[in-house]
Chain A
Amino acid sequence: MATARNGAIDKIRRERTFARKAELLARLEAVPAEEDADVSTIPDERLALLFTCCHPALAVDARIALTLREVGGLETREIARGFLVGETTMSQRLVRAKRRVREAGIPFRVPPDEILPDRVPDVLRVIYLVFNEGYAASDGDALVRADLCAEAVRLAKLLCVLMPDEPEAFGLLGLLLLQDSRREARVGPDGELVLLADQDRTLWDRRAIDEGLRVLRRAEAHGRPGRYQLQAAIAAGHAEGTDPQTIAAVYDALLQIDPSPVVRLNRAVAIALAGDVAKALDLIDRLDELDGYAYLHAARADLLRRLERDDEAAASYRAALALTDNAPERRFLEGRLREVEGRDVRA
């Protein structure tokens, strides 16, 4: 009797889950073609693979590495650079991660509804990092690897379709679209890096900006802010020419959610843009844990240059150069280094 009842309950549960999956699949296919023609053709297996690669039983590093390798299709060498480890180390990490997926019985599927919300942040983070890898590839002459960025945008769109009530999925998509909108303007005619303030705004992709803003508004309508929505709000602020003080205030909110060193660095840069260079420099000088991060030294160098502390600026540019092998970034840093060295000689 009890067994029969339990069997019936199981059957109802299964049917409910199936109905939900069918509904999601139908919605996936209903995505308007003009949004992104590729979305409807992505096989569901790819999403299952994404969730498998992002399973919490794997170490975070392994999740990211595995996703970049298996879903993003990056070379082991590229992933190794992204992680600042040797190629052999990364290769071993990937082998161990794959073995763990197999031996621990990590399922290959999109998680069922009851555990889906727990798994989404990991997937969001990995997509974000895939985009980052594409946006500022760590070597070679191509500053922007459009294919990886497009891949990340596609995956973010897919998540939005699958999780229409998850504001952070939309926040992430908005962020990526807004960042990606500046792709053409970020690199000058000779392949050099062009900073935001110096970019030719006519090169910004207006359509991507509009889509990003629309997606962000949809995310914010839920009234549940998160790190991706806040970062998207910052990117939106840059796109719309919002005043630097307002942008710095959004960074304050982001810091509450994510007090990581990189956010603290970016907030310091925002404070400098808002006019308080001395405070920004003081904040950056306290970020010892980012000593191996090229952008810390580049940001510090820029502040020192603006304060005309040229000797110190030159030392920081050299420190940044020692940590980056991205050719456009190197050209940019070398140009600035010559500038402060020249000024130094004159003085």
Chain B
Amino acid sequence: MKYAMLVYGDQSAWAELDEHDAARLRAESMPRWLALFEEMGKADPAVEGRELEAASDAKVVRVVDGERVVTDGPFAETKEQIGGLFVTTLPDLDEAIRIAALVPAAETGSLEIRPVVER
């Protein structure tokens, strides 16, 4: 089964940190991210993962009555935004849940597991 794991978190909290604190927090959580990547790599060597820039840098594109409308993100009112995603092939949902719980961001935000449609 192929799963997308969407990493949700409150990015504004990151943005409010000064550079020094942000670097320190990154360094602190790094061993756990590395452990995650090792575990993910074992489960699926072809796993793909991407971290996204802050949602405040997002552009939102819509086509309304044939007209292109571009606005700044984030467009959602929710505090949690997608901060990254993984796409990975795993034996079943239980394994996907196990891996998702290893993502450090699951403790401050949440992980959404979505089966990828394969036709």
Contacts and interface: CB of A to CB of B under 8 A. Distances in A.
Interface residues of B, number: 11
The secondary structure that dominates the A interface is: loop
Contacts of A105: 1, 3, 90-93, 96, 115
B94 interface: yes
Contacts, number: 26
Nearest to B39: A6
B93 A106 contact: yes
A104 interface: yes
Of A6, A104, A105, A112, most B-chain CB atoms within 10 Å: A105
A57 interface: yes
Interface in A100-114: 103-107, 111-112
Contacts of B92: 105-107
A270 B42 CA distance: 57
Contact of A57 (B42, B91, B93): B93
B111 to A, nearest CB: 13
Interface in A253-294: none
Interface in A68-117: 103-107, 111-112, 115
A154 interface: no
Contacts of B42: 6
A104 B115 CA distance: 6
26 contacts: A6-B42, A55-B93, A57-B93, A103-B115, A104-B1, A104-B93, A104-B115, A105-B1, A105-B3, A105-B90, A105-B91, A105-B92, A105-B93, A105-B96, A105-B115, A106-B92, A106-B93, A106-B94, A107-B91, A107-B92, A107-B93, A107-B94, A111-B94, A112-B94, A115-B94, A115-B98
Interface of A: 6, 55, 57, 103-107, 111-112, 115
Given A6-B42, A103-B115, 4 more contacts: A55-B93, A57-B93, A105-B90, A106-B94
